[in-house]
Amino acid sequence: MDNSAFEMHGDATQNVLSVGKMDTISRMEKKRQWSLMSVFLVCLLACTITTAVGVLILSLVYVNNSQPHSEVHLVPEAQPLRATTIPIVQKAVDPKFQFLNHLPKSKVFEFPGGAIQWARYRSNVKDYLSVEEEAFGSSLNSQRSQMTLGTLRIKSNGLRAPHWHFNANEHGYLVQGTAWIGVVDDGGVVTTYNVTAGQVIFFPKNTLHWIKNVGNEDCFFLLFFSTHDELQTLDVDDVFFSTPEDIAARSLKPEGGINFIRTFHKQEEDQGVNLPPNLAELVMNASYAQSPDSLVWRYFYDLKGSKEYRFPGGIIQRAQYWKNGSELSNNEKIFSEFLNQHQNALALSTLRIYNNGLRQPHFHFNANEMGYVISGCAKVGIINTQGTIEFDIHIGDVIFFPIGTQHYIKSMCDEDLLFILAFSTGDQLQTLDMDDYLQATADHILAQLFFKKQSEFKKIPKFKEDQAINLP
């Protein structure tokens, strides 16, 4: 704009000069006429020149504006270059780690009564132990997985302290052991029950809950949380010690008042999973009662005892919401309906695949999927819009299949592959298998698509039995 302002000054001097020339030509005319005429001409010239200058300014402004546009076009071409030369080279990581987490390699958070490990997103990149863990965590978050997985090991008599989560429902599967669960819902309604291996627990967002190992062996839980952000949790002991003494005294009105409150002392170590060495002195009279079915089955599902969906190559069992609950027992219906009443609830299922069995390529319409390998080993394939990725999985590995990606799982060990899977839907899971969608597509459409005679497609047989998990 400075330049065009300067040019305008130049035009103005030219204007004055041409006025001078015209003075000499019209010397013979009457002074008034002349002066009127000259004023008119000067005005006309001035107008013309001003218009010309205006057009010039506009065109310059346009050129100035269009130049940054062309720079913008250049920038995206330059950026991938910069991106590939600096950050990606620094953090070269196999793309499979967007879908795979070697959980046994992750940090173990040790507590007096047990330990916790995580496959999750961290908002501070420094909290990841490796670039592989970071790739998985940021993939969960950027693809809005609505899921995070944690493992919880509790020693015999250990207690996962009463606590609640601000931002997630919790769905757990007990792999090993026996635990006594307490859930406190709105208005202080308490529900308690025992769970054993193969069963499922559900803690809706912000219900207070505890888990006590009441067996002789370790309890081992796989916990899915319905968030891809950092989980926000408060433990009851931490809240208690953060509450001013006088407020605690007035709220609880104990014998001895505030002096009684002052007899409580916070332990040095985090008591997230606790096990006091002198537990036998502290607890004399523990009872592990069970609440009525109508309460218990809202938070509990006997997955191991539920209907088995049998296929040639394996078995699937499901703890989920069913639109048509006619095949469910009355207690299972309570669970199904309760799940569906909660936002962002998850569906859990176990997937057992015999040696050499194949969970054929399929995808889900309405859910992301996360899974943990409990036993066996497998080859997994994921086909998304960027291509295909295949990798091996073993005990303790965690996988993530984003919604819509076609995936398959081939059991490779002698031992059955056993997966616990979570799906990010509180509705009935919707799935389409490769054989089903190819059978459903008209022969002539396939013939045209694959450059192959229509009659050739008769070679792909239809089976009476569902081939979701098949054998060769």
Ligand X SMILES: *[C@@H]1O[C@H](CO)[C@@H](O)[C@H](O)[C@H]1NC(C)=O
Strand partners, 470: 358
* Beta carbons within 10 angstroms of residue 228's beta carbon: 23
Nearest approach, Cβ of 182 to ligand X (angstroms)? 12
Site for ligand X in 71-130 (CB under 6 A): none
Q: Give the DSSP H/E element, type plus range, for residue 220.
A: strand 219-225
Buried b (16+ CB within 10 A) or exposed e, 132-160: bbbbbbbbbbebebbbbbbbbbbbebbbb
Nearest approach, Cβ of 289 to ligand X (angstroms)? 6
Nearest approach, Cβ of 215 to ligand X (angstroms)? 6
Nearest approach, Cβ of 335 to ligand X (angstroms)? 18
Which residue, 89 or 289, has its beta carbon nearer to ligand X? 289
Exactly one of 65, 90, 124, 285 binds ligand X (CB under 6 A); that residue is: 285
Helix axes 2-25, 31-85, angle to 10 degrees: 160
| Amino acid type, 294 | S
Which residue, 290 or 356, has its beta carbon nearer to ligand X? 290
| Amino acid type, 457 | F
Task: Please report whether residue 290 would count as binding ligand X according to CB under 6 A.
Answer: yes
**279, 116 contact by CB (below 8 A):** no
Name the one residue in this structure whose structure tokens are 């459409």: 445
- What number of chain residues touch ligand X (CB under 6 A)? 13
Nearest approach, Cβ of 420 to ligand X (angstroms)? 23
∠ CA 298-363-309, nearest 5°, is 50
Site for ligand X in 129-158 (CB under 6 A): none
DSSP per-residue string spanning 72-86: HHHHHHHHHHHHHHT
Nearest approach, Cβ of 296 to ligand X (angstroms)? 10
Region from 232-240, 285-293, 308-316, 347-355 binding ligand X, contact rule CB under 6 A? 285-293
Which residue, 320 or 424, has its beta carbon nearer to ligand X? 320
What tokens were used for 443?
A: 């022969």
Exactly one of 70, 326, 343, 385 binds ligand X (CB under 6 A); that residue is: 326
Which residue, 1 or 282, has its beta carbon nearer to ligand X? 282
Exactly one of 38, 143, 156, 194 binds ligand X (CB under 6 A); that residue is: 194
Exactly one of 111, 180, 220, 372 binds ligand X (CB under 6 A); that residue is: 180
Name the one residue in this structure whose structure tokens are 């095949």: 327
Exactly one of 123, 278, 287, 343 binds ligand X (CB under 6 A); that residue is: 287
- Using alpha carbons, select from 53, 279, 299, 328 the residue that is nearest to residue 200: 299
Q: CA 226, CA 230: separation in Å to the nearest integer?
A: 11
CA distances from 157 to 166, 174, 278 (A): 27, 16, 12
Site for ligand X in 365-404 (CB under 6 A): none
∠ CA 205-209-210, nearest 5°, is 150
Which residue, 158 or 376, has its beta carbon nearer to ligand X? 158
Region from 140-148, 284-292, 305-313, 451-459 binding ligand X, contact rule CB under 6 A? 284-292
Which residue, 8 or 328, has its beta carbon nearer to ligand X? 328
Nearest approach, Cβ of 425 to ligand X (angstroms)? 19
Region from 238-246, 280-288, 352-360, 428-436 binding ligand X, contact rule CB under 6 A? 280-288
Site for ligand X in 306-325 (CB under 6 A): 324
Nearest approach, Cβ of 164 to ligand X (angstroms)? 23
Region from 118-126, 279-287, 334-342, 434-442 binding ligand X, contact rule CB under 6 A? 279-287
Task: Please report whether residue 431 would count as binding ligand X according to CB under 6 A.
Answer: no
Task: Please report whether residue 293 would count as binding ligand X according to CB under 6 A.
Answer: no
Nearest approach, Cβ of 465 to ligand X (angstroms)? 17
Site for ligand X in 208-247 (CB under 6 A): 214
Nearest approach, Cβ of 244 to ligand X (angstroms)? 29
CA distances from 102 to 107, 117, 221, 399, 469 (A): 11, 11, 17, 9, 25
Task: HSE, CB side, 13 Å, CA atoms: give it for residue 276.
Answer: 9
Exactly one of 246, 293, 327, 415 binds ligand X (CB under 6 A); that residue is: 327
Region from 287-295, 301-309, 406-414, 417-425 binding ligand X, contact rule CB under 6 A? 287-295
Task: Please report whether residue 288 would count as binding ligand X according to CB under 6 A.
Answer: yes
DSSP per-residue string spanning 147-214: -EEEEEEE-TT-EEEEEEESS--EEEEEEESEEEEEEEEGGGEEEEEEEETT-EEEE-TT-EEEEEE-
**422, 367 contact by CB (below 8 A):** no
What residue ranges bind ligand X (CB under 6 A)? 178, 180, 194, 214, 284-285, 287-290, 324, 326-327
